[in-house]
Amino acid sequence: MNVLKRNYGWVTVSLLAVLPLLAIIKMVNLDFSNGISISLIEKATSEGKTTLEMLYHISGEFAIRWMTAVLTLTPFYILFGVNNLFVRQAMGIATAIWSLLHFTIFVIAEGLLETFTQFNYLAGFIAILILIPLLFTSNRKSMKKLKKRWKKLQSFAYLAIFLSLVHVAILDKTWIIYAVIVGLGFVIRIPTIKEKLIERRLKKKPVKQ
């Protein structure tokens, strides 16, 4: 119970990241009668989209949602003083996994070479390349080994979110919502604004008797 209590944030993030996979599993048919055969179940959706389009949509949406959520953690700390590094790591892992799933679905459907045919595809591909090392270093062992370089490496997440926003913006998706959230987060990070917000938060904090 103590272990679960200490890691409740990690467990919560993991559950939230895994549950949407159930919707994807329902769209895929696995056949083990003659090796492993994977096929899509058409007409598995009720929104007028093909199964492949829904797979694109679900995986891409959750990738950008988790990425945006990760970048809101620092502003959340500035505003409310709540911080949990291991929750941040869990969110980062969820971001990378959903992004890799999204890219994998694209490659299976369109082929790897299609990645280099359009700028928005290329932007998404570069974002994936950035996320891969972040995924494999989102653990305590890497933090201890890399020390100060760990934070520098993780800061590349900002470039990944920028490229991801470019990717979805060109595809005419609901990118503006994520752009506004990320933009406000960067405004809150501005040193003068950050200092004033922290100062105000500390003043409101009740003094222990």
**In angstroms, rounded to a whole number, what is the distance separating the alpha carbons of residues 63 and 125?**
13
State how far Cα 157 lies from the chain centre.
10
- What is this structure's pTM? 0.82
Whether 208 shows a pLDDT value over 60: the answer reads: no
| Statement: residue 102 has pLDDT above 80 | yes
Considering only 43-47, 60-64, 203-207, which range has the smallest mean pLDDT? 43-47
Neighbours of 104 (CB within 10 A): 12
Q: Is the pLDDT of residue 106 over 90?
A: no
Domains of the chain: 2-203 (1.20.120)
156-171: average pLDDT:
85
Higher pLDDT, 95 or 32: 95
Closest CA relative to residue 59, chosen from 32, 27, 28, 21: 21
CB atoms within 10 A of CB 199: 10
Q: Is the pLDDT of residue 174 over 80?
A: no
Report the chain's C-alpha Rg in angstroms.
20
Mean pLDDT of the chain: 81
Residue 87: pLDDT band by 50, 70, 90 thresholds? confident
- On the question of pLDDT at 19 being above 60, the answer is yes
Identify any residues that bridge with 30 across adjacent strands, giving them in sequence order.
38
pLDDT at 152: 86
Q: Report DSSP state, residue 194.
A: H
pLDDT at 198 over 80: yes
Query: So what's the pLDDT on residue 116?
Result: 92
